Structures are given as structure tokens and as C-alpha cells.
Amino acid sequence: MKVSKIGIVSRFDRQDALDMVKKIHDEFNSKVDIYLSPGTGERLKISSNLLPVYKMRDAGVQLIISVGGDGTALRNISKMKDPLPVLGINLGNLGFLVDVPPEDAIEDIEDVLKGFTYTERSRLSVSLGNKNLPDATNEIVLITARPAKILTFRISIDGTEIEDIRADGVVFATPTGSTAYAMSAGGPIVDPRVDASIIVPLAPFKLSARPLIIPGSSTINVEMIIPEKEAAVVIDGQHTYSMKENDIVTITKAQNPARFVSSSINGFYEKVQSKLA
């Protein structure tokens, strides 16, 4: 299906990102309807078709072009209840989720506008007490809010308690997030096609506290059981919330996946080799 409406989101604190958006806008504005996130549009002094990313699906936008790094894409995906497919122009460092280099942007977008395919990546839904937090594409991290203070987490999977974990924190990752913080903490790399969640303790006190891979359909409950200590709940490195004693974090598979437009580097293992070697 030919694309007629696109959205563009970007960092607007960097001139190279704004310059790239302007280049894309000037090149394709006569070919498709383009909607810009308000912050980007205002800085480029473009006043028409400004729309928050969470409203773009309702406007008929078919895909999002994200200009920045992985964090830019993750931040905007988290704002969409049912995420649109994202094509990432990489102006960051690693660019595992956004892998189109700036020099190929115009050519790749030209190809995508003729029709595109995308992959779906499972996300994690998370609640803190009775409050629903943004879904996670990469990971949910529970980490001590006070440096050098170890915490004890009581974790249950589908109602069955596993061993209490004393550690600086715990990472709960999707297969997509297995190549991010979870990998740095010693967790396994998991193919995104695997329906699973990964649990990785951060600097655990016991040698027996090892990473776990569990079914993606599992319900995970986490309680902090040491009094007078606080933890931070961090979602995709973008959103942070406070967790206190007896607060319960519940993690399940999210209803709607993240979606990424297929680009010139398509295979997961090809990306692992090119990005992480």
C-alpha cells in the first residue's frame, strides 16, 4: 500500500536533528501529507500540521519517522497506546532500533513511501499499585534510589514465589531489550521472535541469583520488602517513578506491540554482529 501520510518526531535540542527533519520535510512535503510533533515544528517555524505523536494514528498517519537515537524512538513509542510503525534515522550512538544512517535517509524514505513491511516487537505492561505506567519496549528497571544501598525484592511468577533477590536492582526485559541494559548486566541475548521475558538481577548479593527467561505470557509481581528504603522504577530509560516498601509492581505482556519498519539491515543476527561486535 502506497503511503500518503507520515509523521515525523525528533530531538529538537540538537541542530543536526532539526536540519535532518527540514531536509526530509522539504523533500517529501509535495508528495505526502507530513505531520510534525509540535516541539520540532515550532523550532523549524512550521505552523501547519503540528500534532502530538499519540494523536497521529487518529489523523490517518501510516508511519512515524523518528530522527535521533534509540531513546527518541522509545520515548515516542511509549506515548502511543497502539504504536504506529517507526522508521528510525540514526543520529545517536549505537542505533540498535533506529538503524538508517543519515546519508541514506532520503533514499530509504523514498523506497518506504512506495510501500513497506514492518516487524512487531512485544512490549511489557507495568503497574505500580493501582497506577498504570507507560508500556516498556526495552525494559523495566527496579533500582535502588540511594547509591550503595542494597534492596530485597520478592518476586512471584504466575503466583509462585521465587527466591527473594537481594541486589542493587532487577531488570525485566523484553527480547528487544535483551541487547540493551539487560545484556550489560549479564543477561542473555534473546531473538525478538521468542515469546519471553528476561529477569536479570543487578549486582546480586548471592551467587545463586542468576538471570531467568520465562514465558512471555507470565504475570510478574515484585514487592520491595526491606523497610525504610526506596527504589526507582525506570521504564526504557525515559520515565522514572518512586517505589516504596510494600508497593507492588505488576508486569504483564502488553496488549499492543511496538512496530519497526524493515530497513536495509533487516536480520536480528546481522544487527547483533554489526552493532555489538
The strand pair at 86-90 and 63-68 is best described as parallel
Integer-rounded Cα radius of gyration of the chain: 20
What is the pLDDT averaged over residues 243-254? 91
Flag whether pLDDT at 265 surpasses 80.
Answer: no
Of the residues 33, 58, 70, 247, which is catalytic? 70
pLDDT at residue 163, rounded to an integer: 80
The predicted-structure confidence for 203-242, as pLDDT tens digits, reads as follows 998 888 899 999 999 999 999 887 667 889 999 999 999 9
The predicted-structure confidence for 268-277, as pLDDT tens digits, reads as follows 777 777 666 6
Domains of the chain in start order, with CATH, are 5-121+257-276 (3.40.50.10330), 124-253 (2.60.200.30)
pLDDT at residue 275, rounded to an integer: 65
Give this prediction's pTM. Answer: 0.93
Identify whether 70 is a catalytic site residue. yes
pLDDT at residue 227, rounded to an integer: 62
pLDDT at residue 266, rounded to an integer: 56
The predicted-structure confidence for 142-190, as pLDDT tens digits, reads as follows 998 887 788 889 999 999 999 889 999 999 999 999 999 999 999 999 9
Residue (of 164, 100, 174) closest to 139 by Cα position: 174
The predicted-structure confidence for 83-116, as pLDDT tens digits, reads as follows 999 999 999 777 788 889 999 999 999 999 999 9
Flag whether pLDDT at 63 surpasses 80.
Answer: yes
CB 88 within 8 A of CB 99: yes
Flag whether pLDDT at 246 surpasses 90.
Answer: no
Percent with pLDDT over 90 in the chain: 75
pLDDT at residue 228, rounded to an integer: 60
Q: Long-range contacts: 31-35, Cβ < 8 Å, 24+? A: 31/113, 32/3, 32/4, 32/5, 32/6, 32/113, 33/4, 33/5, 33/6, 34/5, 34/6, 34/7, 34/8, 35/5, 35/6, 35/7, 35/8, 35/59, 35/61
The predicted-structure confidence for 100-109, as pLDDT tens digits, reads as follows 999 999 999 9
